[in-house]
Amino acid sequence: MNRKVSVAPMMDCTDRHERYFLRLISKNVLLYTEMVVDEAINRGDKKKLLEFNINEKPVALQLGGSSPKLLSEATKVGEDFGYDEINLNLGCPSKKVEKNKFGACLMKEPNLVADCLSKMQSVTKLPVTIKTRIGYDNVEDYETFYKFISTIKSTGVKTFIIHARKAMLGKFTPKQNLNIPPLKYDYVYNLKKDFPEDEIIINGGITEVEQVKQHLKKTDGVMIGRSAYHTPYILADIEKEIFDNENIPSRQEVIEQLIPYVKDELKKGTRLNQIMRHTLGLFHGQSGASHWKRYLSENMCVRDADVKKIDHIMDKIKYNNIDNSVGQSA
């Protein structure tokens, strides 16, 4: 699987509608689901939680949990639904996930993590990967991080996605944890040197294509987070400059291709705002972008959005002088 560039799992962001939208821009980046808790899969509505459009592929399922049994069962379900990879969340720092014993707090229990990963791999032929941080609270030395990764590696896991910040458990909000702990890219670079045969993917604070290029000189892949959500057309630049793909749709063409999907989803009971909220940043940095955001905010990103507005959306692009050419996203 090509993991040269991927879009990070982000709660309330990378749902199936967002992934379909992003796939219209980029054919090559690997997409991830929001984190789905193992117990929810085993006890809840599996179809509602896991069903996705085949056009989203390749797409990876991220799981949250700490029970080897529940995680293995959820892994098997994920494989049956057609996902291309199963990823275990070892990096989320929120109080909610710590209370329920999954996410970054599991860095404190490497042997439990190893048990979970061994059990997950035993029930699937799919690659099982992890996404983690470089440390937690006051535990941030490279030696401890190295030992943690070594323990995971002993289970057979070969792909490690590293957010190059430590997690401050219970002290910062999730948003603060994305910004306040300093980035230590050298930890990830050193990890690649220490484990040259494994796939090391770097994440954290990456907002420009030039950064992607520089990180790819020292790691196997780059995972982009918030910039892919707030300025999604950055993926067009990545297609062109990283994957040498010149066949990139303009912003207007992306919306034109999205409309049939929107209409199909509306017939199924999906609300218009559930889809269109993801497109707010499509014209970021372009002339006339404010018209686009205002129109969406007033007509499509509200709970009782008028579905008839979808038929007029292209007029807003054409007649408000919104620049939709292929090029830099910001």
Mean of all residue pLDDT scores within the chain: 91
The per-residue pLDDT for range 258-307, each reduced to its tens digit, is 999 998 998 899 988 899 999 999 999 888 788 888 888 888 776 667 66
Domain at 5-241, CATH from 3.30.420.40, 3.20.20.70, 3.40.50.300, 3.40.50.720: 3.20.20.70
Tokens of 21: 């939208």
Mean local confidence (pLDDT), 320-324: 60
CA–CA separation, 259 and 317 (whole Å): 14
Which range has the worst mean pLDDT, 73-77, 150-154, 205-209, 252-256?
252-256
CB-based burial, 76-111: b 16+ in 10 Å, e otherwise: bbbbeeebbbbbbbbbbbbeebbeeebbbbbbeebe
Handedness of CA 124, 125, 130, 131 (dihedral sign): negative
Question: In 10 A of CB 218, how many CB atoms?
Answer: 15
pLDDT at 99: 62
CA–CA separation, 200 and 149 (whole Å): 11
Predicted confidence (pLDDT) at residue 308 exceeds the cutoff of 90: no
Tokens of 246: 């010149």
The dihedral over CA atoms of 65, 68, 70, 71, expressed in degrees to the nearest 10, equals 60
Which range has the worst mean pLDDT, 109-118, 173-182, 238-247, 288-297?
173-182
Q: Which CATH class is domain 251-319?
A: mainly alpha
Residues 6+ apart with CB under 8 A from 276: 262, 296, 300, 301, 305
Higher pLDDT, 296 or 53: 53
Task: Indicate which residues carry an active-site annotation.
Answer: 92
CA–CA separation, 194 and 198 (whole Å): 9
Beta bridge partners of 139: 136
pTM (two decimals): 0.93
Q: What band does 330 get if pLDDT is binned at 50, 70 and 90?
A: very low
CA–CA separation, 83 and 78 (whole Å): 6
Mean local confidence (pLDDT), 102-118: 95
Give residue limits of the domains in the chain.
5-241, 251-319
Predicted confidence (pLDDT) at residue 328 exceeds the cutoff of 70: no
Q: What band does 321 get if pLDDT is binned at 50, 70 and 90?
A: low
Residue 249 in contact with residue 292, Cβ under 8 Å?
A: no
pLDDT at 293: 86
Handedness of CA 223, 224, 226, 232 (dihedral sign): negative
3-state secondary structure of 283: coil
3-state secondary structure of 138: coil
Higher pLDDT, 329 or 48: 48
Mean local confidence (pLDDT), 87-97: 82
